[in-house]
Amino acid sequence: MITESTRFQTVTTRERVVEYRIPEDEDMTQDGITSQVATSEIPGGPILAEPTADPCVLVIFGITGDLAKRKLIPALYNLMVGGSLPRRFAVMGLGRTEMSTPELRERLREQTGKFSRQPLDSEIWNRFAAHLEYVCGSFDEPATYEELRARLSQVDATVGTAGNRIYYLSTPAATFPVILENLHANDLLPRGHGHQTQPWAQVIIEKPFGRDLDSARELNRMVRRYIAEDQTYRIDHYLGKETVQNILVFRFGNSIFEPFWNRKYIDYVEITAAETIGLQGRGRFYDQTGVIRDVVQNHLLQVLALCAVEPPVSFTANDIRDQKVQVLKSLRPITSMEIADQVVTGQYRGYCDEPGVAKDSRTPTYVAMKVLIDNWRWQGVPFYLRAGKNLGGRCTEVAIHFQPIPLSLFPQGNTCQILERNILTLRIQPEEGISLRFVAKVPGEHLSVGNVSMNMNYSSAFGKPLSEAYERLLLDCMRGDATLFERRDGVEQAWQFVTPILDALEADTKSPVNYYAPGSAGPAEADQLLARDGRHWSPLS
């Protein structure tokens, strides 16, 4: 029996309307207001139908590393569960650890059971593991590549992978030149034009793409010596998230929002990437990197670009990436004289006691900055970016704050109710979804106004689980679709904006460090950054 207090959500499919209770950990209420969402798939074929993945061998350099065990192998296993992997497919792992192929398969089975988003099915795993091979050797030894070439030829003959290759460099960037040079010297990496060349060869490069503008340019020049841009897939897992991809669909698929997506109706935009965790054993790496290189240069600027792009001519890879680059080119540079007014960095207390961190480290674990875009649509609209570790809430989201109403129409004597502005929030993770806040009259004889939050939970609204980002990105690479991968000019443009900020901050060794308590919202100075403009951050959820 459904009572007045029962919480339910309605999902509309083509066949029926389904009402079901929302689990307790998916609370769809806020401030006592129950949300109800109806969804339906639009009849007809998809707007953009993805081609089937080509037969290929995925060669993972560093298969015994953390990324492979936590993300890559679980992603491939889940693709097999969903039936998305091509039938003629194999994984060839390279690593320095002495072990046999059966030993690697058993080790990865245990790790996949721990990190996979779906429970491990023994039958499916055994079918997947049969496609998994291992080559042990050093990345700088010619003998390693001789064995790799022989094993790949054998796989082509037995599996039918047609000579197509994807090389995933899940290794430190310092090893890239050695690996690419040896692949080239052993005729394992022919220069081509993506999937237009048969057989094709592609290289996936894991971030970071350099440490600054000069190193990013040098990395790109080095890669270009061996392969064409069409063969290069620079992976940023944020772009593989369903909710990030949905930004474009939400913007350009809804006529009610696009007319208001400009300086006339939007007051400011917040983009947040907050983590509750600390370094998790990555102290040595993080102390050399910091939050700006680790999160802002890639993740947050990519999300900003998607939120601010002009409509692309089509949804093809280069048309979308062309528009994103235009946004990055339009970012107003922040000079060294403006750093104090537009950038706040912080460090959580206890950071210098972490293993691998220098005792006198000034590396920031938190940053907040005010970014302006000098173009027709966004002139004068600030984008406030913030990212940090060891904070009081975990969320990655975009909050669009619309302009306040110019006049209150609800006076009461000499005072009136203060109406909060409309906010559209795109939640990237966790609790992926979209919410919209507006005001409505509170029932009763008096004219009182209350806030209403309409809340859509992405996975429960459509009744479908969300895939992991690496699942989508690996599959897109097999299809030859580079839409969700970064392009050379986009990487360099992002570094061109960020590098002067890094140089100014690292040159300043006298300013005090802004410390914040673990579990807090960050340093108080970040609040002042917005307060000077008469604004405030949204609470960390």
328/69 Cα distance (integer angstroms): 34
More confident residue, 239 or 9: 239
Report the DSSP beta bridge partners of residue 373: 331
More confident residue, 31 or 116: 116
Distances (CA, A) of 434 to 9, 24, 455, 541: 15, 19, 6, 14
**CATH code matching the domain that covers 56-206, chosen among 1.10.3720.10, 3.40.50.720, 3.40.47.10, 2.40.128.520:** 3.40.50.720
Catalytically active residues, by annotation: 299
328/491 Cα distance (integer angstroms): 9
Distances (CA, A) of 130 to 25, 66, 71, 89: 38, 22, 19, 10
Find the distance separating the first CA and the last CA of the chain, reported in whole Å: 33
Delimit the domains of the chain by residue range: 56-206, 239-401+486-531
For residue 512, pLDDT beyond 70 = yes
Which residues lie below 8 Å from residue 448, measured CB to CB, with a gap of 6+?
Answer: 417, 441, 442
Q: In 3-state terms, what secondary structure has residue 17?
A: strand
Alpha helix (H) ranges present in 466-522? Answer: 469-479, 488-507
**Contact status, residue 164 vs residue 57, Cβ threshold 8 Å:** yes
Write down the pLDDT at residue 37.
Answer: 57
Write down the pLDDT at residue 518.
Answer: 95
Any idea which of 116-130, 168-182, 220-234, 414-428 has the lowest mean pLDDT?
A: 414-428
347/290 Cα distance (integer angstroms): 10
Which residues lie below 8 Å from residue 206, measured CB to CB, with a gap of 6+?
Answer: 67, 168, 169, 170, 171, 235
- Residue 486 is classified by DSSP as B
Report the DSSP beta bridge partners of residue 371: 383
- Residue 202 is classified by DSSP as E
For residue 390, pLDDT beyond 60 = yes
Write down the pLDDT at residue 207.
Answer: 81
More confident residue, 24 or 259: 259
Structure token pair of residue 238: 């944020």
pLDDT digits over 333-373, tens only? 999 899 999 999 999 999 999 999 999 999 999 999 999 99
For residue 72, pLDDT beyond 90 = yes
Write down the pLDDT at residue 14.
Answer: 37
Report the DSSP beta bridge partners of residue 456: 434
Task: Give me the long-range contacts of 25-34 (CB less than 8 A, separation at least 24).
Answer: 26/431, 26/457, 26/460, 28/455, 28/457, 30/453, 30/455, 31/450, 31/451, 31/453, 33/452, 33/453, 34/7
Any idea which of 2-6, 91-95, 246-250 has the lowest mean pLDDT?
A: 2-6
For residue 66, pLDDT beyond 80 = yes
State mean pLDDT over 403-432: 72
State mean pLDDT over 446-469: 77
Neighbours of 286 (CB within 10 A): 23
More confident residue, 157 or 28: 157
**Contact status, residue 251 vs residue 518, Cβ threshold 8 Å:** no
Write down the pLDDT at residue 12.
Answer: 37
252/124 Cα distance (integer angstroms): 39
More confident residue, 385 or 16: 385
Any idea which of 33-47, 87-101, 141-155, 507-521 has the lowest mean pLDDT?
A: 33-47
Q: For all residues of the chain together, what is the average pLDDT?
A: 86
- Residue 115 is classified by DSSP as H
- Please give the CATH number for the structural domain made up of 239-401+486-531: 3.30.360.10
For residue 526, pLDDT beyond 50 = yes
**Contact status, residue 435 vs residue 425, Cβ threshold 8 Å:** yes
Report the DSSP beta bridge partners of residue 372: 382
Structure token pair of residue 336: 């060294």
Which of these, 415, 137, 170, 428, lies nearest to 307 by C-alpha position?
Answer: 428
More confident residue, 133 or 35: 133
Write down the pLDDT at residue 499.
Answer: 96
Any idea which of 107-111, 466-470, 508-512 has the lowest mean pLDDT?
A: 466-470
State mean pLDDT over 51-66: 90
Percent above pLDDT 90 for the chain: 64
- Residue 181 is classified by DSSP as H
For residue 93, pLDDT beyond 60 = yes
Any idea which of 6-10, 187-191, 413-417 has the lowest mean pLDDT?
A: 6-10
For residue 25, pLDDT beyond 50 = no
Write down the pLDDT at residue 255.
Answer: 85
